[in-house]
């Protein structure tokens, strides 16, 4: 079972998730990382779940077309859309205080 270390608003949360878990789905059914993870549509359209991968990125698949479109150059800074990845290994993540707007759009 993958271990998730999640940083947000100066706090660190740690929990285990089932293999092949999606963190947005887990939060949606009120399991860890709920209530700490900010998320929105769950479909790779809004960027609310965007987080920086601090550790474990080598175990993630390459970004898909939605991540490439919405995150653009922020992919190079380590950001990923958590709604678009399923975990099979330990990971460490940080979510910014404010949600980011998709590339090419201003924050709401």
- The yes-or-no verdict on residue 106 having pLDDT over 70 is no
- Residues of the chain with pLDDT > 70: what percent? 97
User: Would you state the CATH architecture of domain 3-95?
Assistant: Roll (3.10)
Domain residue limits, the chain: 3-95
In the sheet that holds 79-81, the strands lie side by side as 11-16, 3-8, 91-95, 50-55, 79-81
Go through the chain and tell me how many residues it has: 108
pLDDT of residue 101: 86
CA atoms of 4 and 11, how far apart (whole Å):
14
CA atoms of 88 and 81, how far apart (whole Å):
16
- The yes-or-no verdict on residue 25 having pLDDT over 70 is yes
The β-bridge relationship of strands 91-95 and 3-8 is parallel
Report residue 104's pLDDT band, with 50, 70 and 90 as the boundaries.
confident
- The yes-or-no verdict on residue 107 having pLDDT over 80 is no
């Amino acid at each position: 079972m993958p271990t998730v270390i999640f940083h947000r608003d100066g706090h660190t949360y740690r929990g285990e998730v089932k293999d092949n878990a999606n963190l947005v789905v887990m939060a949606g059914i009120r399991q860890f990382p709920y209530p700490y993870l900010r998320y929105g549509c769950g479909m790779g359209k809004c960027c609310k779940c965007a987080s920086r991968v601090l550790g474990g990125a080598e175990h993630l698949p390459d970004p898909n077309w939605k991540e490439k479109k919405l995150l653009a150059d922020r992919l190079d800074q380590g950001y990923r859309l958590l709604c678009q990845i399923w975990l099979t290994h330990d990971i460490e993540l940080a979510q910014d205080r404010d949600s980011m707007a998709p590339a090419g759009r201003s924050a709401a």
